Chains A and B, each alone.
Chain A
Amino acid sequence: MVTRSAIAPRLTERREIPFLQRRSVRATLHKLLVYPLLLVGTFMMLLPLAWLLSSSLKASGLIFVVPPQWIPNPIVWENYTKVWTMIPFALYTRNTLFITVVAIIGGVSSASICAFGFARLRFPGRDLLFLILLSTMMIPEHVTLIPQYILFRIVGWLDTYLPLTVPTFFGGGAGAIFLLRQFFMNLPLELDDAARIDGCTSFGIFARILLPQARPALGVLAIFSFMGNWNGFFLPLIYLNSPEKYTLSLGINMFKGTQFSAWNLLMAASTMTAIPCIVLYFIAQRYFIQGIVFTGIKG
């Protein structure tokens, strides 16, 4: 979006003229159309969430009542505590948190070093390598999955967290490097030159000058890495076998297999896995939106 606003040099007194709106009559008509549509849409998006919350607070007899009771009577908060005792919810949370934290550290640190090289240092073959990096984003992960699995099997890493964490230390993914590179490229080169004159090495420039400036971009990366790992299902499914090593995703899926009619408990468990993501969104809404927009538009 930065580039776009640079293209639009002048903002005249008359700002954006929205689609459809011209005269005041039209404006009213238009409001009568826009708001109801938006409200209906919002309703449809939020209704499943309300259903999730409402079901999670119902007594087990009340979930099978037609028509459904939206505000349960009584409200059964114990569903939430029950989940913690029926399955090792705390253990799953700890496992997931461990993987997530290590993956964030690995991804953010290695992506920022690689992005620095691509953005700020000149070396032969750089642009070709960067093109290769971009093209790896197009490769479906399943093509490399089987040899990776065999590799991890040979080195004895199956049923450990290593296949889920160690690869993140190798660049943290093409998208991450790309995002940070764009960010570094937008910082003025004079910063580097001034630091070099003062005797700073390249890595000094990286660590002391660029990295502190890149905090917003690092925040975006950390959030996305968090969401990706907290959500991850396919890779833990393949690499983890022992139930005591399960992540939240795997644990809840197993819980679903054993409690297929305890919808109130299943909804409570699902709600609890969503809470950290929703809280994070409200804390760092700006980063979220910037990140999504960036990954969707690519500079």
Chain B
Amino acid sequence: MQAVAARPGAKRRMSRTERREAIEGFVSISPWVLGFIIFTLAPLLASLYLSFTEYEVVKTPVFVGLANYRRMFFGDRLFWISLKVTATYVFVSIPLGIAIAFAVALLMNQKVKLLGFFRTAFYMPSLVPVVGAAILWIWIFNPEFGLLNTFLANFGIKGPPWLAHSKWALPALIIMSLWGAGSGMLIYLAGLQGIPTDLYEAAEVDGAGAWQRFWRVTVPQMTPVLFYNLIMSIIGSFQVFTAGYIMTGGGPRYATYFYVLYLYQNAFHYFRMGYAAALAWVLALIILFFTILVFRSSSAWVYYEGQLRGRR
């Protein structure tokens, strides 16, 4: 807001119509500005402050300095467990999800007949509401009567107890997350369809085979889309909550104890609001760290139109 107030008058006086337009401009965006201050900026600062306090809602916050953070890093086993569980989920489900969605999009981009049918079929699972999907998958993962293990039994494989076993519960939730690869597929398909055909023609004239065309045309052209999706997936996946909350309650033996689940329990079961705020800030910084990492790396692998320094 300060920057806004500082700007006018810097260069030249505004004409009357310009001033009127500026006022109208401020009025029109005022809902967002107010919302930003009330629901984002102020809470952001408040939660930063709360993270240095002990606050149990009914009493006033007591300033405790870095105690929350110290406890988190040095005295809280569950913090580390939840972080490890979440990181495993993020770094397995994102690459798998992107690979599957991208591969399917490539297949669908081969001028297939019945494209509409395939597209709808792949997207359909993403239409099932989260809670419904979670309950469906508990049933699918049922060790004795579930779809997955009765299906595996056809091949003589005795399936694991999935959600009931600490080794299989997290892989089960990752498998479930891949069921929702349809929306990524739609995005990549649209990206593939938008690659200018003359690029392929030029490559072919230059004698590039199919494999080379894929690596030298398709992939570079798709990197901006992949880049954007990678960022959004990182932000989203670190905040995974519902599957763990509904399907496993974080168990068995903390095998699916996601970070946000831990945060939620601190805040709304134990009412340790100060500690939960500190957890939230650490999560935000972790997400920020990975976002910046991807941004920094982007100059090495993301291709932008009009960029002279091409990939060799």
Give the residues in chain A near B39, CB-CB below 8 Å.
144, 148, 167, 170
Take A147-B46, A167-B39 as given contacts and tell me if A17 and B283 are in contact as well, using a CB distance cutoff of 8 Å: no
Instruction: State the total of A-B contacts with C-beta under 8 angstroms.
Output: 321
* B306 → A minimal CB distance (Å): 10
Whether A45 contacts B21 by the Cβ 8 Å rule is no
- B212-252: CB near A (< 8 Å → 1, else 0) gives 01100010000011001100100100110110011000000
List the A side residues contacting B187 at CB < 8 Å: 292-293, 296-297
Residues of B within 8 A of A19 (CB): 106, 109-110, 210, 213-214, 218
User: Does B38 lie at the interface of the complex (its beta carbon under 8 Å from any beta carbon of A)?
Assistant: yes
Which residues in B have their C-beta under 8 angstroms from that of A269? Answer: 132, 135
Q: Which residues does chain B contribute within 8 Å of A274, judged by CB atoms?
A: 127-129, 132
Which single member of B27, B42, B104, B184 contacts A296 (CB below 8 Å)? B184
Q: For residues 23 through 43 of chain B, which have their beta carbon under 8 Å from a beta carbon of chain A?
A: 23-29, 31-36, 38-40, 42-43
What CA separation (Å) do A9 and B214 show in the bound complex?
22
Chain A: minimal CB distance from B150 (Å) = 6
Is there an interface contact between B42 and A147, defined as CB atoms closer than 8 Å?
yes
Q: Is B64 an interface residue (CB 8 A)?
A: no
Does A200 reach chain B (CB closer than 8 Å)?
Answer: no
* Nearest neighbor of B305 in chain A, beta-carbon distance: A7
Q: Does A143 contact B (CB under 8 A)?
A: yes
Residue pair A140, B284 in contact (C-beta under 8 Å):
yes
Given contacts A7-B305, A123-B22, contact A133 B200 (CB under 8 A): no
* Bound Cα distance from A288 to B186, whole angstroms: 10
A124 to B1, CA, bound (A): 11
Q: Interface of chain A, helix or strand or loop or mixed?
A: helix
B130 nearest CB across to chain A (Å): 5
In the docked arrangement, what's the CA distance between A238 and B265, Å? Answer: 11
Residues of B within 8 A of A117 (CB): 24-29
With contacts A117-B25, A123-B26 taken as known, whether A21 is within 8 angstroms of B110 at the C-beta atoms is yes
Report the minimum CB–CB distance from B40 to chain A (whole Å).
6
The B interface is mostly helix, strand or loop, or mixed, namely helix
Residues B132 and A141 in contact, CB atoms below 8 Å apart? no
Residues B218 and A45 in contact, CB atoms below 8 Å apart: no
Return A46 CB to nearest CB of chain B, in Å: 6
Q: Which of A125-184 contact B (CB under 8 A)?
A: 125-126, 128-129, 132-133, 136, 138-151, 153, 167, 169-171, 177
Residues of A with C-beta under 8 A to B47: 143-147
CB distance from B43 to the nearest CB of A (A): 4
Chain B neighbourhood of A234, CB < 8 A: 241-242
Q: Is the CB of A140 within 8 A of B287?
A: yes
Number of interface residues of A (CB under 8 A): 109
A11 adjacent to B139 (CB under 8 Å):
no
B44 within 8 A of A: yes
- A128's contact among B3, B197, B198, by CB below 8 Å, is which? B3
Contact code string B53-74 (vs A, CB < 8 Å = 1, else 0): 0000100000000000000000
Minimum distance in angstroms from B44 CB to a CB of chain A: 6
Interface 9-residue window, one of B75-83, B86-94, B140-148: B140-148
Among B158-166, B188-196, B296-304, which stretch is in contact with chain A?
B188-196
List A contacts of B218 (CB < 8 A): 19
Q: A residues touching B (Cβ–Cβ < 8 Å)?
A: 1, 4-5, 7-8, 10-12, 14-22, 30, 34-35, 37-38, 41-42, 45-49, 51-52, 55, 63-68, 110, 113-114, 116-118, 121-126, 128-129, 132-133, 136, 138-151, 153, 167, 169-171, 177, 201-203, 206, 230-231, 233-234, 237-238, 248-249, 252-253, 256, 263, 266-267, 269-271, 273-274, 277-278, 281, 285, 288-289, 292-293, 296-298
Report, nearest first, the 8 A-B pairs whose CB atoms are least far apart. A170-B35, A296-B187, A117-B28, A125-B4, A171-B32, A123-B25, A270-B132, A147-B43
A-B contact pairs, 30 of them (CB 8 A): A4-B195, A7-B196, A11-B197, A14-B201, A17-B204, A21-B110, A35-B112, A38-B104, A45-B122, A45-B179, A114-B32, A121-B25, A122-B18, A123-B23, A123-B25, A124-B4, A125-B4, A143-B47, A144-B40, A151-B43, A170-B34, A233-B130, A238-B268, A263-B139, A266-B139, A277-B127, A296-B229, A297-B190, A297-B191, A297-B224
**Known pairs A17-B204, A38-B112, A170-B38 / 15 extra A-B pairs, C-beta < 8 Å:** A8-B198, A17-B197, A18-B110, A45-B124, A121-B21, A122-B25, A123-B23, A125-B3, A139-B40, A171-B36, A266-B139, A270-B132, A273-B129, A293-B186, A296-B229
